[in-house]
Structure 1
Amino acid sequence: MAAEAEDSCDVAVIGAGISGLTAAALLSRAGLRVTVVESEAAIGGCIAGFQRKGFLFDTGIHWLNECGPDGFIHRLFSDLDPGYPKCRPLARIRRIKSASFDYLLTSEPDALRDRLCRDFPEAAGGVRSLFAIGRKIAESVHQLSRGLRCWETMSLLEYGLYGLRMGYWSLPLFRHVGVPAEKGLRLLFRDSPVKDVFASEEEMMGVLVPLGWAYAKNFQMPPAGGSRAFALWLQKRIEASGSRVLLRHRVAKVLLEGGVAAGVVLAGGRTLRSRFVLAACDVEALYERMLPPGAVPTDLLRRLHDADLYDSGFMVNMGLDCGAAALGFGEEMLTLFREDIPLSERVSGDPAKVNLCVMSSSVRDASVAPAGKGTLSIFCRARIDYMDHWRTGPGLERGPAYAAFKKEYADALIARVERVMSLRLREHIEALDIATPVTYWRYTGNRDGSIMGARPTMKNIKSKIAHFRTPVKNLLLAGHWADYGGGIPIAVKAAANTALLILKDTVPAAYQRLRVLMDGAGSGTPISSRSGTGST
Structure 2
Amino acid sequence: FYPLLIPHRSKPKGYRKLEKTYEVGGNRPSALRDGFTSKKIPEDVDFVVVGSGVSGLVTGAVLSRVGKKVVVLEQHYLAGGCMHCFEEKGFEFDTGLHYMGRITKYGGLLSLAADKDIKFARLGNEENGWTYDKIVVNGAKDFDMRGDERKFEEDLKARFKDSPQDVERVFKALRGSLEDGYPFLLRMIPKWLVRPLVFLAKQNGWFGLAAKTASEVIGSLTTNNKIKAVLLGTTGDEGGSPDKNCWLIRKGILRHYISEGGFYPVGGPSEITKALIASIEKAGGRVLVRANVEQILVEGGRATGVVVKKGSSGGVRVMAKEGVVSAVGTSVLYKKLLPPSLCKPGLTAISKLRPSAQHISVFVGLKKPKSELKLPSYNYWVLPNMDVKTGKYFSPMESDLKDYDPMSIPPMAFMGFPSAKDPSWEGRHPAKSVCCIITEAPYDYFEAWAAQRSGRREANYNAIKEKIGKRLVDEILLRFHPELKDAIEFVEVGTPLSSEFYLGSEKGSSYGIAPDSDRFYDPDCINTLRPDTNVSGLWITGQDIATAGIAGGIAAAYITASAILGYGLVETMAKRGLVDDMKKISSVEKLRKDKRIKLV
TM-score by length of 1: 0.82
Report how far residue 448 of structure 1 moved: 0.7
1:408 to 443, 446, 467: 467
The match for 1:442 is: 501
Report how far residue 95 of structure 1 moved: 0.5
Amino acid at match of 1:381: E
The yes-or-no answer on 1:107 pairing with 2:147 is: yes
How do 1:37-56 and structure 2 match up within 5 A?
37-56=73-92
- Does the aligned pair in 2 maintain the 1:55–1:368 contact within 8 Å? no
Seq. identity, %: 23
The yes-or-no answer on 1:236 pairing with 2:278 is: yes
The yes-or-no answer on 1:179 pairing with 2:229 is: no
The match for 2:540 is: 477
C-alpha distance in 2 between matches for 1:119 and 1:32: 54
2:339 to 286, 292, 298: 292
The match for 2:26 is: none
C-alpha distance in 2 between matches for 1:526 and 1:392: 47
The match for 2:393 is: 343
Residues 517/479 of structure 1: CA separation in 2 closer, same or farther (3 Å cut): farther
SS at match of 1:252: strand
1:356 to 408, 413, 437: 413
The match for 1:534 is: none
The match for 1:531 is: none
Deviations 1:469-524 (A, max 9, x none): 2222211111123x1311122212222222233333xxx9xxx9999574765755
C-alpha distance in 1 between matches for 2:208 and 2:415: 31
Report how far residue 460 of structure 1 moved: 2.2
Residues 323/472 of structure 1: CA separation in 2 closer, same or farther (3 Å cut): same
- Does the aligned pair in 2 maintain the 1:296–1:471 contact within 8 Å? no
The match for 1:255 is: 297
Which one is further off, 300-309 or 20-29?
300-309
The match for 2:53 is: 17
C-alpha distance in 2 between matches for 1:82 and 1:290: 32
C-alpha distance in 2 between matches for 1:176 and 1:515: 24
- Does the aligned pair in 2 maintain the 1:39–1:251 contact within 8 Å? yes
The match for 2:259 is: 216
C-alpha distance in 2 between matches for 1:62 and 1:446: 19
C-alpha distance in 2 between matches for 1:310 and 1:124: 35
Report how far residue 271 of structure 1 moved: 1.6
Aligned length: 502
The match for 1:63 is: 99
How do 1:368-383 and structure 2 match up within 5 A?
368=425, 370-383=429-442
The match for 2:551 is: 489
Structure 2 unaligned blocks of 5 or more: 1-36, 124-129, 236-240, 588-600
The yes-or-no answer on 1:3 pairing with 2:23 is: no
C-alpha distance in 2 between matches for 1:153 and 1:77: 28
C-alpha distance in 1 between matches for 2:414 and 2:218: 22
Deviations 1:176-225 (A, max 9, x none): 542343x54444443564444445444355664454335532x3412112
The match for 2:188 is: 151
How do 1:71-86 and structure 2 match up within 5 A?
71=105, 73-86=106-119
C-alpha distance in 2 between matches for 1:66 and 1:519: 20
Report how far residue 389 of structure 1 moved: 2.2
Report how far residue 451 of structure 1 moved: 1.2
C-alpha distance in 1 between matches for 2:491 and 2:362: 7
Residues 42/207 of structure 1: CA separation in 2 closer, same or farther (3 Å cut): closer
- Does the aligned pair in 1 maintain the 2:54–2:553 contact within 8 Å? yes
SS at match of 1:294: helix
Amino acid at match of 1:364: K
The match for 1:97 is: 136
Deviations 1:331-370 (A, max 9, x none): 2121101144852355546454142111111111143452
The match for 1:532 is: none
SS at match of 1:432: strand
- Does the aligned pair in 1 maintain the 2:370–2:430 contact within 8 Å? no
Report how far residue 60 of structure 1 moved: 0.9
- Does the aligned pair in 2 maintain the 1:63–1:222 contact within 8 Å? yes
Residues 245/522 of structure 1: CA separation in 2 closer, same or farther (3 Å cut): closer
The match for 2:325 is: 278
- Does the aligned pair in 1 maintain the 2:572–2:578 contact within 8 Å? no
SS at match of 2:584: coil
Deviations 1:374-403 (A, max 9, x none): 2111012222112x4275556887322221
The match for 2:486 is: 427
Deviations 1:442-481 (A, max 9, x none): 1111111111112342222313141222222211111123
Amino acid at match of 2:393: L
- Does the aligned pair in 2 maintain the 1:97–1:337 contact within 8 Å? yes
Residues 270/191 of structure 1: CA separation in 2 closer, same or farther (3 Å cut): closer
Deviations 1:385-427 (A, max 9, x none): 12x4275556887322221111111111112114642615442
SS at match of 1:453: coil
SS at match of 2:482: coil
SS at match of 1:249: coil
2:355 to 309, 331, 353: 309
SS at match of 1:174: coil
C-alpha distance in 1 between matches for 2:232 and 2:318: 51
TM-score by length of 2: 0.74
Deviations 1:244-267 (A, max 9, x none): 122222222122222221111221
Which one is further off, 359-368 or 113-122?
113-122
Residues 152/180 of structure 1: CA separation in 2 closer, same or farther (3 Å cut): closer
Amino acid at match of 1:493: A
1:330 to 355, 364, 376: 376
Residues 41/149 of structure 1: CA separation in 2 closer, same or farther (3 Å cut): farther
Report how far residue 282 of structure 1 moved: 3.1
Report how far residue 6 of structure 1 moved: 4.2
Report how far residue 306 of structure 1 moved: 3.9
Residues 379/237 of structure 1: CA separation in 2 closer, same or farther (3 Å cut): same
SS at match of 1:414: helix
- Does the aligned pair in 2 maintain the 1:16–1:280 contact within 8 Å? yes
Which one is further off, 283-292 or 255-264?
283-292
The yes-or-no answer on 1:321 pairing with 2:321 is: no
Amino acid at match of 1:254: I
C-alpha distance in 2 between matches for 1:515 and 1:43: 35
Amino acid at match of 2:112: D
SS at match of 1:433: strand
Amino acid at match of 1:174: G
- Does the aligned pair in 1 maintain the 2:543–2:552 contact within 8 Å? yes
SS at match of 2:263: coil
The yes-or-no answer on 1:389 pairing with 2:447 is: yes
Deviations 1:57-76 (A, max 9, x none): 111123213431xx1x3443
C-alpha distance in 1 between matches for 2:148 and 2:505: 37
C-alpha distance in 1 between matches for 2:578 and 2:564: 18
The yes-or-no answer on 1:34 pairing with 2:70 is: yes
